[in-house]
Structure 1
Amino acid sequence: MNRITQLFNINYPIIQGGMIWNSGYKLSSAVSNAGGLGLIGAGSMYPDVLRTHIQKCKQATDRPFGVNVPLLYPNIEEIMQIIVEEGVKIVFTSAGNPKTWTAFLKEHGITVVHVVSSTKFALKAQEAGVDAIVAEGFEAGGHNGREETTTFTLIPMVRAQLSLPLIAAGGIATGRGMLAAMILGADGVQMGSRFVASVESSAHDAFKQTVINAQEGDTVLTLKELAPVRLLKNKFYADLQALYKQCPSEEELKALLGRARAKRGMFEGDLVEGELEIGQIAGLLNEIKPVAEIIDEIIRDFKAAQQERILF
């Protein structure tokens, strides 16, 4: 056991990212049943939908699971109340100030983890009283920090300043990547993109296929003026680049982005006009597999790498 497996009472220090439009109860329960920690992605769910997914997840697994809550979303009070009412024991918060909700959640016996993109915010989360930190490098898919610090730079920097259990995220999809992150000071890893390309992911099949077809350089971090996000290149991205040439205002960027573009791309499968969020590591993925096979493969790869990398 290490600090992450002990904290969450799981077999492997592997956490599935709670990604919008990808992380319903089928994915989270499958990850938990396979020995990792599954997370329901509350960011793409209305409160009543979230409650249903939590209830279905409890029916689908008797193992620990959690909910990922982006703090910038509306209905946050209702979401937190549902989490308490449904007896969720683990919450990952992101995209906001951890001081706002950490005390409330811990008063209800909930283990709290906060996602950060810098050492400065990691220290603030530690001060807020969280139980663990996810330090996410800018290789990650979806919304990112503005610092553009890579995972393998960020992890040792945070480790040097932080006493809490530390989870590495961004650009990790294999056992070898997991071993490298842990050598640099992480106690466990969070993987998002690898689980997007799983049978149980709630993403549209067309999006999953696009992810495994992606090559090196096919993703770009953009929209830094609003909320930095890593996207696959498509017509929407090309339209965005054309607009950037005109030095647009934030309002013009928001107008092009519109509403529900991420849902359109990842959940409904519009590969042309949708927002297709995925990490750089997509270039290493080439097969959609069941979650149980993915986790077995990661653990085998991790153990093989441990044996192979004894250099002297």
Structure 2
Amino acid sequence: MGTLKPLVIGDLVARNPVIQGGMGVGISLSSLAGAVAKSGGIGIISTAQIGFREPDFKKNPLEANLRAIGTEMIKAREIAPDGIIGFNIMVATMNYASYVKKAVLAGADLIISGAGLPVGLPEYVAEAAEEAGIKLKTKIAPIVSTVKSAMVICKLWDRKYHQAPDLVVIEGPLAGGHLGFSKDDLTRLGADTNDVEHTYKREEYEEEIKGIIRLVKEYGDKYNKVIPVVTAGGIYTHEDVLHQIDLGADGVQVASKFVTTFECDAPMEYKQAYINAKKEDIVITKSPVGMPGRAIVNPFLDGVGKIPFRLEHCYQCLERCDRTTIPYCITKALVDSAEGRTEEGLLFCGSNAYRAEKLVTVDEVMKELVGEN
């Protein structure tokens, strides 16, 4: 594996320092996460509307989602009995605590949590283990994008729970889906254009990464533990991985590159949209809850704001969704794409999605990232 070392998170040891990023709705479920874990990385199942295929999803979305957490974990474990498998749970999710507790009971090795600061994550994880009378084994990792957000969560967990994160994930401005930056921040960093390869102020953001790594080390020293830091966003090649390691990261989180694998849970139409995409097709859009996000432009995105929208059904997905003002329902848009209606739905992606040329296996992706091919 050359210069790359295993990713160690407490007693969890991933042979390859690669975490597969969580992609909802229905893009990273048991098939992808299990394959990544079997390949020596860390497989992540997204809980975002994870139960959309359940027959009662429309009527009882919460119950359907919680049930699916358990079934998807069982299927992932069948693929990789000895692998490391976790969940990505958005803080912005309605009934966030219920999702966290269900993930713990399902046997999650790791919970990665962003889309807001996971203030109560340690409490919910501990409560789940205590209520079930089981030994707490689930590791917890906040997603941060700035030194400021890392400081807030580390200080709060330190003061309130007398603990530090087990892992910290830094998601940069080249990541896919919802981004932890304002539109102004993305503009300042040159990450909001169709040509981020030439406009992105990488060195400026890398100083932020170094600052987060220094901060996390301080809290690791305080608690006499090593807290690994993993970076995400715009990582596509072995050289990209090596660059992140040179910055001081212990590993990387990669999402878009895994979409065009045979094992990815997305339908072929979704994968083909990535393969067909050109660089200029990847744009920054505004989600219904006001957050900027990166996606592939299509007839659906072209029509947002131009075609009158009327909410026909609420799936109770996000806390800060104002049903009276949203330009579209994000659950419906993501489900449409996850069911293959990609011209009618939202296609979140990272900045490098256009580089996909064909379907490959998860094992091929992993070997490319770690430099084994």
Q: TM-score range by the shorter chain?
A: 0.7 to 0.9
Choose 1 or 2 for highest CA Rg. Answer: 2
Match of 1:237 in 2: 301
- 1:23 aligned to which of 28, 40, 52: 28
Q: Match of 1:290, as an amino acid? A: T
Relative distance call for 1:258 and 1:165 in structure 2 (3 A) is: closer
Q: Does the alignment pair 1:55 with 2:52?
A: no
Q: Does the alignment pair 1:110 with 2:138?
A: yes
Q: Does the alignment pair 1:173 with 2:176?
A: no
Q: Could you give the per-residue CA deviations for residues 118-176 of structure 1, whole angstroms, max 9, x where no partner exists? A: 22111223232211211111211111112325676142342243314211100112111
Relative distance call for 1:6 and 1:223 in structure 2 (3 A) is: closer
Q: Could you give the per-residue CA deviations for residues 276-311 of structure 1, whole angstroms, max 9, x where no partner exists? A: 10111112221211101111122226xx9xxxxxxx
- 2:351 aligned to which of 259, 263, 280: 280
Moved more, 272-281 or 81-90: 81-90
Q: Match of 1:44, as an amino acid? A: Q
Deviation at 1:80, TM superposition (A): 2.3
Match of 1:222 in 2: 285
Deviation at 1:83, TM superposition (A): 1.9
- 1:69 aligned to which of 74, 80, 89: 89
- 1:86 aligned to which of 99, 106, 120: 106
Distance 1:121 1:235 in 2: 35
8 A Cα contact 1:47 1:75, kept in partner:
no
Deviation at 1:258, TM superposition (A): 5.7
- Structure 2, unpaired ranges of 5+: 51-64, 130-135, 158-163, 192-201, 218-226, 308-321
8 A Cα contact 2:49 2:331, kept in partner:
no
- 2:216 aligned to which of 162, 178, 184: 162
Q: Structure 1 segments of 4 or more deviating over 6 A?
A: none
TM-score norm. by structure 2 comes to 0.73
Distance 1:183 1:294 in 2: 21
- 2:43 aligned to which of 38, 42, 50: 38
Q: Could you give the per-residue CA deviations for residues 19-43 of structure 1, whole angstroms, max 9, x where no partner exists? A: 1021111111100110100011111
Q: Does the alignment pair 1:13 with 2:77?
A: no
TM-score norm. by structure 1 comes to 0.86
8 A Cα contact 1:125 1:133, kept in partner:
no
Distance 1:289 1:211 in 2: 13
Q: Does the alignment pair 1:122 with 2:150?
A: yes
- Structure 1, unpaired ranges of 5+: 244-249, 305-312
For the residue of structure 1 that corresponds to 2:371, the secondary structure is helix
Alignment coverage as a number of residue pairs: 295
